[in-house]
Amino acid sequence: MKIATNVHRDAFGGITISNLALFDWMEDKDDTIVGIEFVTARHILGAIIFRRYLPSFFTHHIINAIDILPRFPWEKRGNLRKNWGVLVETAKKVLRKENPDVVLINGTYYAPWILARAAQELGIPIVLRYAGILQQEIQHNGWLVRRRLLVHERWIAESANVIIYPSSLCRTIVERDILGHATKHGVVIPNPTKATSTNGKRRGRFTIAAIGRWTKIKNFQAFIALHEELLRILWPHRAVMVTSYWDEQFGISETIERKDSMSQEDLKTFYRSIDLLVVPSRFETFCNVAAEALVNGTSVLVSKNVGIAEILRKARLGRMIIDSFDDPEEVAAAVKRLAKTKLTKRERNAVAKLLDPQDVHEKILRVLEDTMNGTIH
């Protein structure tokens, strides 16, 4: 089976992490991947993360969109198919050349829209793998922008023959707020996470950390507020933020350590050096970093609005879930409670079993094959 899919070279993003895990698993099988990337920069470095794949398995196509997307942003009014026509036609040219059996769409941003449009016009079956709900991420935007992007996100979801949701929470929100009805062909498959043996020593002080891009939905301000509350009550700890962007408009304490984004291998070592990963996000369809921390032996603290909370409940780790991060005092109390207990080997293994890459990828492959063959249940 030949699978075309949108790819991105940002190794810090959830889509890339999930893609690479799937590619690694499929590499020794008969399937092949056609990676299609849309770039918006005059100068880009080579995509190092894809170099390890043999050309016979992975074909990488790069489509330059720098003269189109900035000129015709989809937040503004206009005929998107007309404005982005050259990108859709270029994607169609790639698809005609490669002739994939199925197109796997990752996420609901501009690249997925372009690739889904090209696939639909060519009659190629589409599987949408949700990786973030766009409407949730743009809640701070004005009503008109949200309305326009809702139309685009809804179109992507409706164009898919099958939708893969990383959590039941994601499915509920999409069916309620995006589609407005139940998915005819949808399945919940969590993102996979592989436990590996890594080196790393935890320091004497209890260490809390937050990881991710600095965006409004990630809600890093709540992590800063937590740190300041722990300082106020004189609770000894160390606070670390791993982020690729630093918003200076917020009063960030000098006592918070900042680290730049890391490779996956470095992140695994980092997880083992901290005591608690704090995920203050207002919403996440899953949360790969929390999953990775757990299988590497580190406790997490998430809200009920994060998809991985479902995995925590199944693994009997409800103590790591709170309602929200709105009240720093309540969050600090939760941190202090978690500091009294360690993640046991049995609990870690329970999470790892639920997110086993072999099981997850077999389910994804089955969905792709059924979509290709027209035997969707």
Specify whether the CB–CB gap between 259 and 241 falls below 8 A: yes
pLDDT band for 251, please (50, 70, 90 cuts): low
Q: What is the pLDDT of residues 32-60, one digit of tens each?
A: 999 999 998 888 777 788 888 999 999 99
Which residues, in sequence order, are CB contacts of 147 under 8 Å at separation 6+?
none
Q: In what order do the strands lie in the sheet with 321-322?
A: 256-259, 238-242, 207-211, 276-278, 299-303, 321-322
Residue 309 belongs to some domain of the structure: yes
* Selection from 286, 266, 260 nearest residue 360 by Cα: 286
DSSP letters for 168-202: HHHHHHIIIIIISS--SSEEE-PPP----------
Specify whether the CB–CB gap between 126 and 102 falls below 8 A: yes
Residue 115 belongs to some domain of the structure: yes
Please, what's the b/e burial string for 60-79 (b: 16 or more CB within 10 A of its CB; e: otherwise)? bbebebeebbeebebeeeee
- CATH number, domain containing residue 286: 3.40.50.2000
- The tokens of 244 are what? 């690729």
Verify that 366 and 327 share a domain, yes or no: no
Residue 306 belongs to some domain of the structure: yes
Verify that 165 and 138 share a domain, yes or no: yes
Q: How far apart are CA 265 and CA 270, in angstroms?
A: 9
Beta strand 238-242 with 58-64: parallel, antiparallel or unpaired?
unpaired
Q: How far apart are CA 297 and CA 315, in angstroms?
A: 14
Q: How far apart are CA 293 and CA 272, in angstroms?
A: 8
DSSP letters for 265-332: HHHHHHHTT-SEEE---S-BSS-HHHHHHHHTT-EEEEETTBTTHHHHHHTT-GGGEES-SS-HHHHH
- Residue range 69-88: average pLDDT? 91
Answer whether residue 283 shows pLDDT above 90. yes
Answer whether residue 277 shows pLDDT above 90. yes
Domain that includes residue 99, residue range = 2-192+357-373
Lowest mean pLDDT, pick from 115-119, 148-152, 308-312: 148-152
Verify that 147 and 166 share a domain, yes or no: yes
Verify that 363 and 308 share a domain, yes or no: no
How many domains is the chain built from?
A: 2
Residue 197 belongs to some domain of the structure: no
Verify that 114 and 27 share a domain, yes or no: yes
DSSP 340: T
Residues in the chain: 377
* Selection from 339, 262, 186, 337 nearest residue 13 by Cα: 262
Residue 127 belongs to some domain of the structure: yes
Answer whether residue 93 shows pLDDT above 70. yes
Verify that 65 and 211 share a domain, yes or no: no
Verify that 247 and 338 share a domain, yes or no: yes
Verify that 364 and 282 share a domain, yes or no: no
Output the pLDDT for position 60: 95
For the chain, percent helix, then strand, then coil, each to nearest 5?
Answer: 40, 15, 40
Residue 81 belongs to some domain of the structure: yes
Greatest alpha-carbon span in the chain: 64
Which residues, in sequence order, are CB contacts of 206 under 8 Å at separation 6+?
236, 237, 238, 275, 276, 339
Helix (H, G, I), strand (E, B) or coil at 28: coil
Q: How far apart are CA 283 and CA 307, in angstroms?
A: 8
Q: How far apart are CA 209 and CA 155, in angstroms?
A: 37
pLDDT band for 13, please (50, 70, 90 cuts): low
Verify that 158 and 11 share a domain, yes or no: yes
Residue 296 belongs to some domain of the structure: yes
- Residue range 300-305: average pLDDT? 98
- Measured at the alpha carbon of residue 242, what is the angle toward residues 6 and 48, in degrees to the nearest 5? 40
Query: Global pTM?
Result: 0.93
DSSP letters for 214-266: --GGGTHHHHHHHHHHHHHTT---EEEEE-S---TTS---TTEEEE----HHH
Q: What is the pLDDT of residues 169-222, one digit of tens each?
A: 999 999 999 999 999 999 999 999 987 765 555 667 899 999 988 888 999 999
Q: How far apart are CA 88 and CA 81, in angstroms?
A: 8
Residue 200 belongs to some domain of the structure: no
Verify that 182 and 329 share a domain, yes or no: no
In the chain, count of helices (H) and strands (E)?
14, 13
Verify that 346 and 245 share a domain, yes or no: yes
- The tokens of 231 are what? 């300082």
Output the pLDDT for position 320: 98
Verify that 61 and 167 share a domain, yes or no: yes
